[in-house]
């Protein structure tokens, strides 16, 4: 017998989930205000459920307008508290690095927490949500010491000798409202640049997925971020609306549906707070006849079926050239057949349930609408066999879709690909751009000139040529048209959370 000590056996995702569920179930999760977990003033709570089972995980405080008042007051105090306001840029960056380290320490548990709350397979939450968030905090930690103003060559008529320079100041208290489809990474995309710029924040996670946001705020406190700098209000749309309307909030950053985005613009007029919006999409995937069909099919399938299609940039409109249309669709269908559907806690699963019954009903209704409009269900179209519980919906292709169909014009936000055939290149561009949205587009061709020409012609905030859904903190992300206002990531994100001040100093 070996005398070697045996390595501890790692907990399986299911064991972690059971442990988390046992720890979470007994008491409602509180709001995080001024560094403390507190119940909603109304005493109300709501259940957050596991989409793979439809069962409640725990109760969560239902924040409302009164709680928003308290959180805004805390964030306003923290904004001017020297513990935060006078902290050096370097030290602020160190706190963000420390927060990233703590997320890394908790990565396994956070990945499972996101999986049970959102339904996304744990293997995917691990790299998309958790590793993605770590990278975002580290990226913006670096900006703290690199983001500043300029010295500018002004030419006053008087001939006075003037020193003119600009500074960047935190925009103030920020209301950050995020959706359920990428809960932790959407929070990180906003919290990290806001804190890097020196703002204080009130994060409002989606009611379907509040758990990782609360944990993130706890870790921020553990990292040493002062109380009141990072607050979390869990709850429904009314809590978000209260944040948007609040006169003590200087900026709102929102990711979510275009419809709610419009309500936010209307709600923010009271004090004309700054607003940035990341909204819906209906992204075209354009395939030219010379494309590498194998690579295109794999990426088109991933582009619509990843995260069960609940991705703002999902490539949900396929424009396949008539010469390769049938072969391409067969290949995309073959890629879909490779997906392993199931509870995201199980190894090997890469396609989980939709987030809620409401979302399941919405996706199913669009499949019916598509059929009534004349499209044909090529694969999928409903609940997969052997998945009676939970909100599972099959990977679905609607072939024979037409430009005026609702399934081509409206965001379904599920695993449904609407496939169209094209043969006239000019009309192709017109069709691709014939959309209220302009978030992203994919182009597949081996002709570099065609790739660049189409990239220039397509109206979208991000264009991928021979790739899809690549996102990086270094490059701007956001939409044209009704897909949003402003850009996240990169320097642009720092600009979203800061004001520019121009200073004139008479040296004459």
Task: Examine residue 31 and tell whether it contacts ligand NAD (CB under 6 A).
Answer: no
| Residues between 428 and 457 with contacts to ligand NAD, criterion CB under 6 A | 439
| Residue given tokens 């725990």 in the structure block | 58
Task: Examine residue 240 and tell whether it contacts ligand NAD (CB under 6 A).
Answer: yes
Task: Examine residue 237 and tell whether it contacts ligand NAD (CB under 6 A).
Answer: yes
Task: Examine residue 62 and tell whether it contacts ligand NAD (CB under 6 A).
Answer: no
Minimum separation from the CB atom of position 440 to ligand NAD (A): 9
Helix (H, G, I), strand (E, B) or coil at 66: helix
Minimum separation from the CB atom of position 45 to ligand NAD (A): 16
**Which two three-digit tokens encode residue 162?**
């003037």
Single out the segment in contact with ligand NAD by CB under 6 A; choices: 172-180, 339-347, 368-376, 399-407. 172-180
Task: Examine residue 181 and tell whether it contacts ligand NAD (CB under 6 A).
Answer: yes
Q: Of these residues, 115, 312, 411, 488, which one is catalytic? A: 312
CB 334 within 8 A of CB 305: no
Q: Of these residues, 114, 129, 278, 488, which one is catalytic? A: 278
Euclidean distance between CA atoms 387 and 353, whole angstroms: 9
DSSP H or E segment with residue 276? strand 274-278
Residue closest to ligand NAD, measured at CB: 240
Minimum separation from the CB atom of position 179 to ligand NAD (A): 3
**# of chain residues touching ligand NAD (CB under 6 A):** 32
Query: Is 278 among the residues known to form the active site?
Result: yes
The 244-283 site mask, x for binding ligand NAD (CB under 6 A), equals: x----------xxx--x--xx-------------xxxx--
Task: Examine residue 415 and tell whether it contacts ligand NAD (CB under 6 A).
Answer: no
Euclidean distance between CA atoms 302 and 308, whole angstroms: 9
Euclidean distance between CA atoms 403 and 85, whole angstroms: 53
Q: What are phi and psi of 382, to 5 degrees?
A: -170, -155
| Residues between 471 and 490 with contacts to ligand NAD, criterion CB under 6 A | 479, 483-484
CB 350 within 8 A of CB 124: yes
Strands 45-50 and 55-61: antiparallel
Give the contacts of 9 (CB within 8 A, at least 6 positions apart).
none
Spacing of C-alpha 91 from chain mean position: 28
Would you list the DSSP string of 402-427? -TTSHHHHS---SSEEEEEEE--HHH
The residue from 177, 195, 288, 398 that contacts ligand NAD (CB under 6 A) is 177
CA nearest 324: which of 350, 349, 287? 287
Euclidean distance between CA atoms 303 and 412, whole angstroms: 14
Looking at the DSSP assignment, which residues form a beta bridge with residue 286? 319, 443
| Residues between 385 and 414 with contacts to ligand NAD, criterion CB under 6 A | 411, 413
Task: Examine residue 212 and tell whether it contacts ligand NAD (CB under 6 A).
Answer: no
Binding residues for ligand NAD, rule: CB under 6 A, are 177-182, 186, 204, 206-207, 236-237, 240-241, 244, 255-257, 260, 263-264, 278-281, 312, 411, 413, 439, 479, 483-484
State the catalytic residues.
278, 312
């Amino acid at each position: 017998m070996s005398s070697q000590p045996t390595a501890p056996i790692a907990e399986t995702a299911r064991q972690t989930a059971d442990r988390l569920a046992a720890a979470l179930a007994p008491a409602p999760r509180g709001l995080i205000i001024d560094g403390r977990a507190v119940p909603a003033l109304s005493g109300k709570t709501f259940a957050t459920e596991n989409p793979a089972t439809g069962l409640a995980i725990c109760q969560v405080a239902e924040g409302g307008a009164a709680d928003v008042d308290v959180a805004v007051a805390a964030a306003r105090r923290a904004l001017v508290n020297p513990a935060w306001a006078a902290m050096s840029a370097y030290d602020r960056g160190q706190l963000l690095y420390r927060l990233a380290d703590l997320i890394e320490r908790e990565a396994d548990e956070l990945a499972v927490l996101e999986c049970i709350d959102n339904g996304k397979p744990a293997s995917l939450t691990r790299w998309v949500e958790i590793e993605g968030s770590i990278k975002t905090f580290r990226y913006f930690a670096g900006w703290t010491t690199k983001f500043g103003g300029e010295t500018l060559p002004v030419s006053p008529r008087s001939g006075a000798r003037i020193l003119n320079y600009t500074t960047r100041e935190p925009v103030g208290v920020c209301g950050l409202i995020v959706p359920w489809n990428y809960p932790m990474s959407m929070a990180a995309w906003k919290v990290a640049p806001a804190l890097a710029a020196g703002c204080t924040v009130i994060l409002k996670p989606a009611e379907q997925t509040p758990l990782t946001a609360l944990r993130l705020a706890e870790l921020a406190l553990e990292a040493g971020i002062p109380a009141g700098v990072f607050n979390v209000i869990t709850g429904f749309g009314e809590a978000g609306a209260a944040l948007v309307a609040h006169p003590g909030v200087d900026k709102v950053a929102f990711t979510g549906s275009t419809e709610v985005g419009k309500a936010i613009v209307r709600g923010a007029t009271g004090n004309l707070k700054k607003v940035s919006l990341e909204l819906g999409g209906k992204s075209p995937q354009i395939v030219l006849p010379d494309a590498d069909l194998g690579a295109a099919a794999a990426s088109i399938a991933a582009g619509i079926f990843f995260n069960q299609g609940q991705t703002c940039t999902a490539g949900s409109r396929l424009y396949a050239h008539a010469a390769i249309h049938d072969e391409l669709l067969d290949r995309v269908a073959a890629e879909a057949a490779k997906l392993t559907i199931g509870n995201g806690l199980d190894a090997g699963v890469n396609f989980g349930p939709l987030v809620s019954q409401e979302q399941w009903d919405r996706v199913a209704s669009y499949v019916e609408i598509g059929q009534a409009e004349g499209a044909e269900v090529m694969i999928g179209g409903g609940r997969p066999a052997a998945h009676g519980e939970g909100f599972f919906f099959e990977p679905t292709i609607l072939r024979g879709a037409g430009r005026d169909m609702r399934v081509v014009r409206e965001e379904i936000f599920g695993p449904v690909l609407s496939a169209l055939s094209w043969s006239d290149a000019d009309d192709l561009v017109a069709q691709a751009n014939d959309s209220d949205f302009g978030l992203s587009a994919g182009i597949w061709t081996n002709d570099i000139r065609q790739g660049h020409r189409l990239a220039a012609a397509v109206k979208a905030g991000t264009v991928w040529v021979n790739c899809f859904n690549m996102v990086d903190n270094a490059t701007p992300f956001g939409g044209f048209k009704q897909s949003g206002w402003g850009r996240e990531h990169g320097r642009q994100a720092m600009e979203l959370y800061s004001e520019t001040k121009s200073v004139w100093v008479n040296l004459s």
